[in-house]
Structure 1
Amino acid sequence: MEEEVVVGGTPPVVILFLAMVVSLAIIVPLTGVLVRFRANYNPKSLQLDSEGGAAAHTGPIVNSYFQMFGRVYRIEGLLGLYKGLMPTAISTLIVSIIILLVVDTEQPRHGKYRAPETGVVGTLFYSFAMMIISLPTSILTYRAITTPHKLGYFDLMGSLRILLTPTERRRPWILYFTPGLMAAEMSHIAVIVLILGPLRRLLLPSMSRPVVSPSDISLWKLVIYLIVFCTTISVLTPLEVIATRLAIQRNHASAEYNSVAQEVDGDGEDTVEYSGAEEDVIGLRNERDPYLGLVDCAKRIVDEEGLTALYRAWWITLLGGLGSTFA
């Protein structure tokens, strides 16, 4: 009879739980700042008002990831850095359980989890399936991070009344039809699975082995892969920025009504804000003039905020991709 190996007498479940806690303690603040930085609506200095006159932009102007980090901490404090903790934890737990139950593998995996090696079509299907499963919690997480309201960690219904419109609460499946969001997420997956995945297996096959030595890697093939990889960052980063903008854009029964105007069951009730609520951490685009899709979102961001807005924190996408490649 085989005995279960327990490291230092500690059950594997406990080790997994502790690893998850440490991971969330580090990742949640970093992700929260990234979402805010990319979601911040920072139009060009002069805009046209309702009467056609020029009006100066008065919202927060944040030019770097680290500047946003300091702004979040100054206005909302340590608790503000951990906004989105509960939906992130729930999403991580659900995905982990699905992986343990569905993906059975005897080969140990280290670092960030990657889709199983089942060929291009299988990997694409697997990635799309995981995206569909996690999309609602991703939307809730992004909205929880960008809302100025304090959300109770265990007040699920109260949080949903703040994060979702009455239309979304009555028809939760409408989240999947958020204009352009699925297209942005699927395009992001397609670039990774259809371009970077096959290229990595072709040029760097040794990277799939459990143990890799420098002599197993061809230098010129590595250079070619890195050049193509850096080129794809010019596509992946805008898709991530667009997906962030579209995820926080709430769905209404009609574009001319905001959530309070639609109020049917307490959506406009008073909620507690952070002590620095008189100063918004980020600026958000008016919901009465929503993005209409992937292409429309990209065009409006460029027209209203400039091309650089599509490449906010591009270096994080670069480092994340490199980490996944060499993990």
Structure 2
Amino acid sequence: MAFLGFFDILILALSLGILLLITVPLSGTLVRFRANYNPKGLQLDAEGGAQPHTGPLVTSYFGMMRRVYSIEGLAGLYKGFMPTLLSALALTLFAVILLGESPSSPRRTGSYHGPSASIIPTLVYSIFDMLVSLPAVVITYRSVTTPHKLPWFQPMHSLRVLLTPTERRKPWILYLTPGLLLTQAVHIAYVVVLMRPLGRWFLPRQEGSAVPEFSAWRLALYFALVLLSTGILTPLEVIATRLAIQRNHASPEFNSVSQEEEGDAEDVAEYAGAEEDVIGMRSEKDPYMGMVDCAKRMVDEEGWGALYRAWWLTFLGGLGAAGSP
């Protein structure tokens, strides 16, 4: 067990802050692009009449980034910075203090990185890590997608905007968001049980070497594995994003994951000049009721392409994993 002084923690926070200055706009754009509700064709109004969809039509990752900047400016690109920083700092301190990592270069924590290279301990560790970090993920995703301008140093005020009264009274209800835990667990299980062991088999490492053995046929097999895995993992990542931004409440006149209509976002500043929301949001009176339901409704309402938004980022991440231990 390692012990850190004040300056160690300060250096960790500063280094993470600098890293997040680069990554937060990229990850925030990804969350918004995948969360954007863009139904095809006509929609039915309350009286059963057909109406064309009038929300934003964004068809590319970089198109979403341009839209965020044009509507909310640079500040909009850094939505979610504080919850991301705090959660990353907490996970890094966990790795340093409890896992004995070096404060100067702690191992990156997160899913699929466990204290053992064998499958079962890594799977257990990854599931545990997901359970610990899930509330932070939910809050971060919601802070990115909310149309409101949240103060950086008033966390309680921000939580009143991001969480419903029910969620504030019963924080554990975040774990009961329909389908969210299952989607995350399936993603972890696929990567830990199938993708990583196969990847190590296709690109093995000699004992004591951090560089895998490269050959044309091994690279071809690994490329095919990553391509196939992208087809499986990308929909899970998109579904997890959609489910994470749904808010839970217990009001009898709504479904169990709809949001309260009043009192959540009173006296919250809007972005100057923002006459429209950056992304479209699906009606919270008709929420997704689970992983399979979310996939089915996305295909029915938005088409198959909605499940594969920014698939190339998942693909590049898979290719990059070839160099990880």
What's the TM-score, normalizing by structure 1? 0.89
Amino acid at match of 2:220: V
Cα distance 1:168–1:141, how it changes in 2: closer, same or farther (>3 A)?
same
State the number of aligned residues: 311
Amino acid at match of 1:296: D
Mapped to 2, the partners of 1:267 and 1:26 lie a distance apart of 31
Matched, 1:309 2:310: no
Instruction: Give runs of aligned pairs for residues 274-289 of structure 1, distance below 5 A.
Output: 274-289=271-286
Amino acid at match of 1:47: Q
Cα distance 1:110–1:153, how it changes in 2: closer, same or farther (>3 A)?
closer
Q: Is the 8 A contact 1:181 1:293 kept in 2?
A: yes
- Alignment correspondent of 1:53: 49
Cα distance 1:34–1:192, how it changes in 2: closer, same or farther (>3 A)?
same
Cα distance 1:284–1:96, how it changes in 2: closer, same or farther (>3 A)?
same
User: Residues 99-150 of structure 1: CA distance to partner in whole angstroms, max 9, x if unpaired?
Assistant: 11232368x9798554333310000001001101110000000000000111
SS of equivalent residue, structure 1 residue 205: coil
Mapped to 2, the partners of 1:133 and 1:210 lie a distance apart of 32
**Pairing partner for 2:237 from 240, 259, 283:** 240
- Alignment correspondent of 2:323: 326
The higher relative CO (CA closer than 8 Å, separation ≥ 6) is in 1
User: Residues 4-49 of structure 1: CA distance to partner in whole angstroms, max 9, x if unpaired?
Assistant: xxxxxxx876654443122100110001110000000000131122
SS of equivalent residue, structure 1 residue 206: coil
- Alignment correspondent of 2:77: 81
Mapped to 2, the partners of 1:294 and 1:322 lie a distance apart of 26
Amino acid at match of 1:236: L
- Alignment correspondent of 2:141: 142
Q: Following TM superposition, by how much is the alpha carbon of 1:201 offset from its aligned partner in structure 2, in angstroms?
A: 2.4
Q: Is the 8 A contact 1:162 1:267 kept in 2?
A: yes
SS of equivalent residue, structure 1 residue 47: strand
SS of equivalent residue, structure 1 residue 271: coil
Mapped to 2, the partners of 1:87 and 1:172 lie a distance apart of 16
Mapped to 2, the partners of 1:323 and 1:19 lie a distance apart of 22
Cα distance 1:14–1:104, how it changes in 2: closer, same or farther (>3 A)?
same
SS of equivalent residue, structure 1 residue 55: strand
Mapped to 2, the partners of 1:245 and 1:297 lie a distance apart of 8
What's the TM-score, normalizing by structure 2? 0.89
Greater alpha carbon shift after TM alignment, 24-33 vs 271-280: 271-280
Matched, 1:253 2:250: yes
Cα distance 1:207–1:326, how it changes in 2: closer, same or farther (>3 A)?
farther
- Alignment correspondent of 1:174: 173
Q: Is the 8 A contact 2:92 2:108 kept in 1?
A: no
Q: Is the 8 A contact 2:259 2:284 kept in 1?
A: no
- Alignment correspondent of 1:204: 203
Cα distance 1:320–1:110, how it changes in 2: closer, same or farther (>3 A)?
farther
Q: Is the 8 A contact 2:239 2:307 kept in 1?
A: yes
Matched, 1:22 2:18: yes
Amino acid at match of 2:44: L
SS of equivalent residue, structure 2 residue 205: helix
Matched, 1:226 2:190: no
- Alignment correspondent of 2:288: 291
Amino acid at match of 1:156: P
Cα distance 1:207–1:177, how it changes in 2: closer, same or farther (>3 A)?
farther
Mapped to 2, the partners of 1:241 and 1:48 lie a distance apart of 25
Q: Following TM superposition, by how much is the alpha carbon of 1:322 offset from its aligned partner in structure 2, in angstroms?
A: 1.6
Cα distance 1:181–1:260, how it changes in 2: closer, same or farther (>3 A)?
closer
Mapped to 2, the partners of 1:267 and 1:311 lie a distance apart of 32
Amino acid at match of 1:102: L
Mapped to 2, the partners of 1:210 and 1:275 lie a distance apart of 54
Mapped to 2, the partners of 1:45 and 1:225 lie a distance apart of 39
Q: Is the 8 A contact 1:255 1:289 kept in 2?
A: no
- Alignment correspondent of 2:116: 117
Q: Is the 8 A contact 1:116 1:123 kept in 2?
A: yes
Mapped to 1, the partners of 2:218 and 2:128 lie a distance apart of 32
Amino acid at match of 2:239: I
- Alignment correspondent of 1:270: 267
Mapped to 2, the partners of 1:19 and 1:173 lie a distance apart of 31
Q: Following TM superposition, by how much is the alpha carbon of 1:179 offset from its aligned partner in structure 2, in angstroms?
A: 0.3
SS of equivalent residue, structure 1 residue 58: coil
